Structure 1
Amino acid sequence: MTTAPAVPALHGRFWLKLVALLLGLFAAILLVLALFPWDLLREPLNRYVSEKTGRRFEITRRLDVEVGWRQATVRFDGIEFANPPWAREPYLVRAERAEFDLRFWQLLARRIVLPRLVLAQPSLGLQMEPDGRKTWALGKGNDDESTVPTIGLIQVDGGSVDFLAKALEIDLRAQFSFDSQRGEMPLSYQVKGRYRAQPLTAVGRTGNVLQLSAVGQPPFPIEIDLKAGQTRLKASGTVAELADLDGLDAQFEMRGPDLGRLYPALGIALPQTPPYALSGNLRKNAALWEVRGLKGRLGLSDIGGDMQFDKSQKVPHLGGTLRSRVMDMDDLGPLIGLPPTARSANAVEGVAPPPTIAQVDRRKRNDPARKVLPDATLDFERLRAMNADVSYTAERIQNVRELPLDKGSVQVKLKDGVLTLDPLELGVASGRIAGAIRIDATQNPADIRAALDVRAMQINRLIPKVETLKTSFGRLDGRINLSGRGNSVASWLGGASGDVAAITGRGQFSNLLLEFLGLDGGEIIKFLLEGDHNVELRCAAVAFDVEKGVMNGRSLVFDTSDTVFNGAGSISLASESMDLVVRQQPKDMSILALRTPLRVRGSFASPKAGVEVAPLATRGAAALALAAINPLLALVATVETGPGKDADCSEVLAEAKKPSSRAAAAGATKARQQPAPGS
């Protein structure tokens, strides 16, 4: 019988002894570290940190360290850490006590990781310079990102924070107070200062343990009531990480004078609006912001829906679906650079109304050169800051001027600086206006194109007062095809080319009104005695060739069975002036007719309408001469023989349907060419 060799057993005992020795050595090291008088290292540590950072660092009373497997817990009884000499505040941090966990294995990679930081009555001085320097960058050069500590949880029991970032236009000071009787939010704060050149104040509460960048920790509660300028924000909810607001889930209420003013703070190119009041649920997950259940008011209009803003893409993207039960046309003025109306400006309680269009007009009233078209420069630069795809629907449209707007919808797309409203639809007077608007903000001035078709609008609904004249029109069709370049509505229209037209077919028209327009005294007397009756409207057309901001009348005809009106002239959108002449040609014979061309001229701000004096004076002189012979002969000068003839309606309508000049035709064609966004 053979025995097993003893060598393996000897080897096994050797390794057991080696492991026991190492464990004993490690235990001895831990015991030494546990019993080590760490405070002896306080002064050497003060000198070492001061030399490495180039700033004064001092643990003022006592140093203690507790060493674990992965990290050490360091306690300072009193700490003063100076700021760089260029900083406003003398100290980066000054506190009665400080305690933090330090991942010492991360130090080998030159990273400072503090999973937990506790400060008693701290005073913090945080500052960022336009050149990138930060007071919390701990290298001598203050620009080495590897020397910026990564902090997980931070706990305070009061104190203050001073934060200055000149490049961001932020200058804030926060005061903290702790009271355990406040429940789950024992830490309250007050913030005062300036943000984007506006005064800012905020008060709120939170848990005393704040998670700056902790991963896997439960969210902590937070409340805020903030006022920046005229913007007011109230929010309450929870947040997982305070550094970038990740895991935010909060209910909010917000109000202010104009959503467009939020662009510097949010980086979202929202439209210019009247005063607003909004509420909803705000969430953030990584780079995705979401607003759910949005509801509120924009001026006189209600608004609701859901929105998303994704900052993970190379160009941030805004998406969503919005709707209004009732949209008021008075609220659309700011979109095109006009101040809001008084109704719209005062519609939101708690927001100081901005200057209204009436107040602005009052200041300009005595200015003979004042303009009517919106000339405020539109900030197209913002359109390059993001992409967007948002749909909006208004179930009903109302307006103080009682225009018969029924409903509307639009799909807003923004890609690579090109904004399109396509499709754009408005229900008007039982008909509709449909088409597209395109703004290419990659060019300066912006390339703007508008192609809109008018279909089947009922003129009786379009002009409600017409009912009192026993008048019945047919339907109105038309179009607006304009293209040009500009950075405001006025500058665009002042250089635009294209086609503007409106046509209508048969209907009924008040003869009494017709004779007033034709200055036919005999017919007016007859109808006042016998009563008014309607005449047939055969056709009507108003069409202009638009060439570089000048609207030249192409077809200006209003033909009834009694009288045909022919117009001519032009309108300058650049100078906002007009000179139009309408000539009446009656189709029947009448006395007491003082027919003379009607003329409309002047500026948009101060139009002047009247009759041409020369023809009227000629008839008046003839009447006076004949009256000298026999008073009854004076009537001869007012006899109208009725030379008017029926217009060729087919020719009138055909002429109104297409531009006649090459420049107008080219502009209209370009307007109808609506390239896809980004093409």
Structure 2
Amino acid sequence: MTSTTAPKPRLSIWMRIGAVLLGLFAALLLLLALFPWDALREPLNRYVSERTGRKFEITRRLDVDLGWRSAAVKLDGVEFANPSWAREPYLVRAERAAFDIRLWPLLSGRVVIPHLALTSPTLGLQMEEDGRRTWALGKNTSDEGTVPVIGLMEVDQGTLDFLAEHLGVDLHAGFSYDSSRGEMPLDFRIKGRYQRQPLMAQGRTGNVLQLNAAGQPPFPLEIDAAAGHTRLKAKGTVAELASLDGIDARFDLKGQNLGDLYGLLGIALPQTSPYALSGELRKRARLWEAAGLKGKLGLSDIGGDMKFDQSQKIPSLSGTLRSRVMDMDDLGPLIGLPPTERSAKAIEGVAPPPSITEVKRARRDSGRKVLPDATLDFERLRAMNADVKYTAERIRNVRELPLDKGSVQIKLKDGVLTLDPLNLGVASGTLAGAIRIDGAQNPAEIRAALEVRGMQLSRLIPKIETMRTSFGKLDGRINLSGHGNSVAGWLGNASGDVAALTGRGQFSNLLLEFMGLDGGEIIKFLLRGDRNVVLRCAAMAFDVDKGTMNSRSVVLDTEDTVFNVSGQASLSKETLDFVVRPQPKDKSILSLRTPLIIGGTFAAPQAGLEAGSLATRGAAALALGALNPLLALAATVETGPGVDADCQEVLAQAKRPASREAAAGAAKAKKQ
């Protein structure tokens, strides 16, 4: 019987190979587990120092827990110097440091640290205008590729200094950790300067800060900060500190002037009275949103929603704002005037800025100029685009200008600011139109095209109501264009057309006779009482030629008297030079029939009788009086040479500019 031996299975060979490899791997793991990593401490110190060009030292012990994708590194005592150009000697100096580092990105020279924990650290961060940063790990500290990516950072207590002189930032922060503080155990205090303004801040947060970590839950943050005259309180959560992404917070903001936020946040807002605002703040990627805004702007309430989008090359601001009640005292800063004393002191907890009264008192030439001379900020006009709508449901404290309500669409595009449409309710009528400021030019080109419709003169000039007048409704227009970097500068060289018209109404005869200097009628009315006469028509039209307002048709026609006004006003010098010539239609004694001279400045107008005409009539009265006192009255007898003005012609002349310069300026103003 023949026996056969079965061959050994080929699989056993592979099993043996696998066993060998497994044994080698186990031996490798054992070697790595028992490897004296601290023996590499000195070589590692030399290697990092040579690669970065600055001293790096693990002062006591090094330990590494090596994994497939990352390594957990523990340093007992670490000192990493800053570059020689930095103010602080150390980038980081800590009692202990522990961090996870990704292994595969190291092959391409990238340093990715998902988690970093520091015990009692001292951090010195600094950046320069040329791009150098102390936290760039290469010898070329302006190389973006040498900046490590840090996800989560954990600290217990310590200090941090951050300096960026070209940005006006110099901050010192201190941290303290106390687990009894609940979900926000880390307390911080900051002092120094931000955007060249003094800054103080304090707050709390979780001890694990997300610098660049993705997919992690947001961490809580609470802050109370003051920079200059601006105060911010906020409480909420933040997803990433490096980009301030994923913000969800409730905020309270107050300060002297919303315009100050440009220096702090880069948002070009208008100059305002002191303010206090609250709302919900959110940030996703490059989009900031302030929802449910509510608060005060001086004496006015304000509310609405705003968005600030930084994703484009030129950031844009958009939103809708409204006021239930807007106070007229809050409009001054918008055109370059200081706030009134009421507005300056309207917000509790905000130091009041200098009021318009205090500013005038401090000036040596107090009262000499009245047109606003605050210059345009071209940097702000070009810093962003905007599309914001504002509506005021009711306007109060109107005093001389009885505004009822108003709305405006504010657009800013490539340095061109437009208020279009602009619609104001004034004296039961409307003032509507558009204003355009082209900040792409220097000086800026400014155009204003405004229409007046149906204003009640009795409301527009409240003081005459005591004389029982019932003027008709006023219509008019303002079409001006020119160049300037302030309201005063623009008006000082503007050209165009200014006109106002009104029709029939009732006019106080007593007031009329005072204007006509008719002494007999005044005495008669004092004995018999006042009565009203009919206003047939009135027109006020000016040609504006390079800052000079020349009277084109200024006529007031009543059943008693025709008043004709001639002269000019200089918008650049702010001077007046007008002559008012009354022509009574009735016969009266004691009428001086003397032209009234209106001169002086906008701030201090002066009125008086024309000296030559008055002297002639006075001399005649004295000569006749020497013969017989009764004959002196003959020189004051008015024989009534005045005739009715042609109202149709008066209104027609008021409708069209006469000079070529004025017509061209008006036409340009209407091309918004």
Q: Which moved more, 1:423-432 or 1:374-383?
A: 374-383
1:535 to 528, 533, 536: 533
8 Å CA contact retained: 1:75, 1:98? yes
Q: Distance in 1 between matches of 2:364 and 2:82?
A: 57
Tell me which residue corresponds to 2:94: 95
Match for 2:307: what amino acid? Q
Percent identity of equivalent pairs: 74
Distance verdict in 2 for CA 1:99–1:556, change over 3 Å:
same
- Residue 37 of structure 1 pairs with residue 36 of structure 2: yes
8 Å CA contact retained: 2:360, 2:366? no
For the residue of structure 2 that corresponds to 1:242, the secondary structure is coil
8 Å CA contact retained: 2:370, 2:602? yes
Distance verdict in 2 for CA 1:17–1:639, change over 3 Å:
farther
Residue 147 (structure 1) shift: 1.1
Q: Distance in 1 between matches of 2:13 and 2:418?
A: 81
Match for 1:307: what amino acid? M
Tell me which residue corresponds to 1:505: 503
Distance verdict in 2 for CA 1:98–1:585, change over 3 Å:
same
Tell me which residue corresponds to 1:665: 663
Q: Deviations over 1:443-496 (max 9, x none)?
A: 111111100000001111112222210100010000000011111111111111
Q: Deviations over 1:66-88 (max 9, x none)?
A: 01121000000000111111111
Match for 1:113: what amino acid? V
2:610 to 606, 609, 612: 612
Q: Distance in 2 between matches of 1:232 and 1:670?
A: 44
Tell me which residue corresponds to 1:199: 198
Tell me which residue corresponds to 1:288: 287
Residue 23 (structure 1) shift: 4.4
- Residue 317 of structure 1 pairs with residue 316 of structure 2: yes
Query: Which portions of structure 1, spanning 4 or more consecutive aligned residues, are displaced by more than 6 angstroms?
Result: 6-9
Q: Distance in 2 between matches of 1:79 and 1:393?
A: 60
Residue 360 (structure 1) shift: 1.4
8 Å CA contact retained: 2:400, 2:460? no
8 Å CA contact retained: 1:545, 1:659? yes
Match for 1:668: what amino acid? A
Residue 146 (structure 1) shift: 1.2
1:462 to 460, 463, 466: 460
Residue 25 (structure 1) shift: 3.4
Tell me which residue corresponds to 1:110: 109
Tell me which residue corresponds to 2:485: 487
For the residue of structure 2 that corresponds to 1:200, the secondary structure is strand
For the residue of structure 1 that corresponds to 2:167, the secondary structure is coil
For the residue of structure 2 that corresponds to 1:265, the secondary structure is helix
Tell me which residue corresponds to 2:168: 169
Q: Distance in 2 between matches of 1:469 and 1:249?
A: 61
Distance verdict in 2 for CA 1:649–1:530, change over 3 Å:
same
Residue 290 (structure 1) shift: 0.2
For structure 2, the residue ranges without an aligned partner over 5 or more in a row are 1-5
Q: Distance in 1 between matches of 2:548 and 2:478?
A: 14
After superposition, the CA RMSD in angstroms is 1.6
1:651 to 631, 649, 652: 649
Residue 343 (structure 1) shift: 1.0
8 Å CA contact retained: 2:256, 2:274? yes
For the residue of structure 2 that corresponds to 1:130, the secondary structure is coil
Q: Distance in 1 between matches of 2:487 and 2:14?
A: 88
Tell me which residue corresponds to 2:577: 579
8 Å CA contact retained: 1:381, 1:441? no
8 Å CA contact retained: 2:594, 2:614? yes
For the residue of structure 2 that corresponds to 1:444, the secondary structure is coil
Q: Distance in 1 between matches of 2:628 and 2:7?
A: 157
8 Å CA contact retained: 2:400, 2:461? no
Q: Deviations over 1:236-260 (max 9, x none)?
A: 0000101111110000001111111
Match for 2:185: what amino acid? P
8 Å CA contact retained: 2:99, 2:113? yes
The 5-angstrom pairing of residues 104-143 of structure 1 reads: 104-143=103-142
2:549 to 548, 551, 554: 551
Q: Deviations over 1:421-452 (max 9, x none)?
A: 11100001111000001111111111111000
Tell me which residue corresponds to 2:51: 52
Residue 320 (structure 1) shift: 0.5
Distance verdict in 2 for CA 1:35–1:643, change over 3 Å:
same
For the residue of structure 2 that corresponds to 1:495, the secondary structure is coil
Q: Which moved more, 1:461-470 or 1:317-326?
A: 461-470
Tell me which residue corresponds to 1:300: 299
Distance verdict in 2 for CA 1:22–1:642, change over 3 Å:
farther
Tell me which residue corresponds to 2:355: 356
8 Å CA contact retained: 2:568, 2:576? yes
8 Å CA contact retained: 1:380, 1:487? no
Q: Which moved more, 1:325-334 or 1:74-83?
A: 325-334
Tell me which residue corresponds to 1:271: 270
Q: Distance in 1 between matches of 2:272 and 2:159?
A: 37
Distance verdict in 2 for CA 1:14–1:374, change over 3 Å:
farther
For the residue of structure 2 that corresponds to 1:591, the secondary structure is coil
Q: Deviations over 1:142-200 (max 9, x none)?
A: 12211111100000000000110011110010000000000000000110101122211
Q: Deviations over 1:526-548 (max 9, x none)?
A: 11111110000000011100011
Q: Distance in 2 between matches of 1:26 and 1:593?
A: 123
Distance verdict in 2 for CA 1:7–1:92, change over 3 Å:
farther
Q: Distance in 2 between matches of 1:145 and 1:538?
A: 79
Distance verdict in 2 for CA 1:240–1:15, change over 3 Å:
farther
8 Å CA contact retained: 1:194, 1:200? yes
Residue 380 (structure 1) shift: 2.6
Tell me which residue corresponds to 1:3: none
Tell me which residue corresponds to 1:437: 435
For the residue of structure 1 that corresponds to 2:442, the secondary structure is coil
TM-score calculated relative to the size of structure 1? 0.96
8 Å CA contact retained: 2:499, 2:655? yes
Match for 1:386: what amino acid? M
8 Å CA contact retained: 2:582, 2:595? yes
TM-score calculated relative to the size of structure 2? 0.97
Tell me which residue corresponds to 2:3: none
Q: Deviations over 1:181-223 (max 9, x none)?
A: 0000000011010112221100100000000010000001000
Q: Distance in 1 between matches of 2:436 and 2:588?
A: 53
For the residue of structure 1 that corresponds to 2:291, the secondary structure is strand
The 5-angstrom pairing of residues 466-481 of structure 1 reads: 466-481=464-479
Q: Distance in 2 between matches of 1:458 and 1:140?
A: 76
Match for 2:74: what amino acid? R
For structure 1, the residue ranges without an aligned partner over 5 or more in a row are 1-5, 675-679
Tell me which residue corresponds to 1:417: 415
Distance verdict in 2 for CA 1:44–1:596, change over 3 Å:
same
Q: Which moved more, 1:17-26 or 1:53-62?
A: 17-26
Q: Deviations over 1:609-648 (max 9, x none)?
A: 1111111111111111111111110110110001000000
Residue 395 (structure 1) shift: 0.3
Q: Distance in 1 between matches of 2:28 and 2:384?
A: 58
8 Å CA contact retained: 2:396, 2:403? yes
Tell me which residue corresponds to 2:67: 68
Q: Distance in 1 between matches of 2:525 and 2:342?
A: 42
Distance verdict in 2 for CA 1:366–1:270, change over 3 Å:
closer
Match for 1:511: what amino acid? N
